[in-house]
Amino acid sequence: MQDTVTPTPAALAGVRVIEMGQLIAGPFCGKTLGEFGADVVKIEATGTGDPLRNWRLIKEGTSVWWQVQSRNKRSVALDLRQAEAQEIARRLIAEADVLIENFRPGTLEGWGMSPDELHALNPGLVILRISGYGQTGPYRDLPGFGVIGEAMGGLRHLTAEPGRVPVRVGVSIGDTLAALHGAIGVMMALYHRKVNGGAGQVIDVALHEAVFNCMESLIPEYSAFGAVREAAGSALPGIAPSNAYPCQDGWVLVAGNGDSIFKRLMATIGRDDLAQDAQLADNAGRVARVAEIDGAIGAWTRERTVAQVMELLAAARVPAGKVYTARDIAEDPHYRARDMLLTQRTRDGYDVTVPGIVPKLSGTPGTIRTSAPRLGDDTDAVLAEAGLTAVQIALLRSKGVIQ
């Protein structure tokens, strides 16, 4: 765990979150809130639990991804197909501040947990609903994962070399963007509840809209000029120079697009002629001659190693970066210095290095308080907090309502 002392109170101390999502979008939002002190109670299906438990690389029977996504959470296993389990869920939600769900629209309503029904039980409840296409509109009932949101949001069209098949970013960025938008919405709704009379509200986050919100000038350029932005590989169209350049042992990214930065970059690579060229004094002029500029930079980097290029550009105060692998990250002293690589002891008894916490708050920083739970680890404790007796809990377990 972290060496720093957990501040009291944490930023979200006293906030109770019921997480009913699975896989990535909803649970990533719950993870974020939990890292800053929220009590996150994760409701999982009996028998299997969240499918993320079994995704990608497995150690001691559980995905190591799970160890990150579900830290600081408590697991309650309910069979929500049964009316008694639905009643338990309503009982827990009635005492919560936030409900997170990322089911297909209509699922909660089918369980008798529509926003109107839940607000009748708990008027102050903040309900975050993450789905592929949102709770309204002609596509609301279609299934949608993060990758579909990336495509519809406009991102996938741009992630390719010109004329080649669009590629994915490499991680579930659509889900994560939706989760972060959801976390922002939850914090705004909690603040509004605090200062405006205690009423809760519904936050509707669509995966494709979260992606679309990050697409910068894509639509304004189409509206004003009819311009359809196309894939440009590693370059940043309309901003120059900003690209990936080959070295003797890899690639380096160089962002020399500031006017003064460009001059320092050209001087460093021995192209004072380009540094002093009046046509290249601003971005518009450089964009018009970007192929020439990229060629000059690439010719210089090809004769050097990544380390040599990085050293020379750092001395010239030109932004540059190597393309990091997992090994590079794990061995980088800057990551360690900023507590972005933490050691977490799992409940299976082994240590694993996990990402640190973002953002970094000076007064109430986030912490890892507990490791990720096994399925149903906290069912009895949470139900006891909700007022159920040991006899009632045992009866529910015998009937398969809980695990």
CA-based end-to-end distance of the chain: 29
Q: Return the number of other C-beta atoms located less than 10 Å from residue 377's C-beta.
A: 18
Any idea which residue has 């994760």 for tokens? 42
| Matching residue, tokens 């045992």 | 394
Whether residues 384 and 342 share a domain: the answer is yes
Coil/strand/helix, residue 290? helix
349 has a pLDDT exceeding 80 = yes
The answer to whether residue 272 is domain-embedded is yes
d(CA 334, CA 393): 49
- Report the percentage of the chain scoring pLDDT > 90: 92
Chain-centre distance of CA 72, in angstroms? Answer: 16
Q: Are residues 281 and 362 both part of a single domain?
A: no
- Residue 389 CA to residue 380 CA, distance in Å, equals 9
How does the average pLDDT of the chain come out, rounded?
Answer: 95
**Predicted confidence band at 8 (pLDDT cuts at 50, 70, 90)?**
low
Q: Is the pLDDT of residue 74 over 60?
A: yes
Are 176 and 250 members of one domain?
no
Task: Kindly state whether residues 147 and 273 are assigned to the same domain.
Answer: no
Q: Same domain for 354 and 283?
A: no
Greatest extent of the chain over all pairs of C-alpha atoms, in Å:
85
Say whether 273 is catalytic: no
Q: Assess whether pLDDT exceeds 80 at residue 170.
A: yes
Residues 251, 112 share a domain? no
Same domain, 280 and 342: no
Q: How many domains does the chain fold into?
A: 2
303: domain range?
A: 242-323
Judged on CB neighbours under 10 Å (0-12, 13-18, 19+), 88 is: buried
Find the CATH number of the domain harbouring 261.
Answer: 3.30.1540.10
Distance in angstroms (rounded) separating the CA atoms of residues 106 and 98: 19
- Residue entry with tokens 């669009």: 166
Which of 39, 50, 97, 175 is labelled catalytic? Answer: 175
Taking 70 as the threshold, does the pLDDT of residue 3 lie above it? Answer: no
H or E, element range at 32? helix 25-35
Task: Flag whether pLDDT at 68 surpasses 90.
Answer: yes
pLDDT score, position 2: 46
Q: Are residues 319 and 341 in the same domain?
A: no
- Same domain? For 77 and 194 the reply is yes
* Residue 139 confidence (pLDDT): 96
Query: Do residue 197 and residue 251 come from a single domain?
Result: no
pLDDT digits (tens, 9 = 90+) for 190-216: 999 999 988 999 999 999 999 999 999
- Measured between alpha carbons, how far is 244 from 241 in angstroms, rounded to an integer? 10
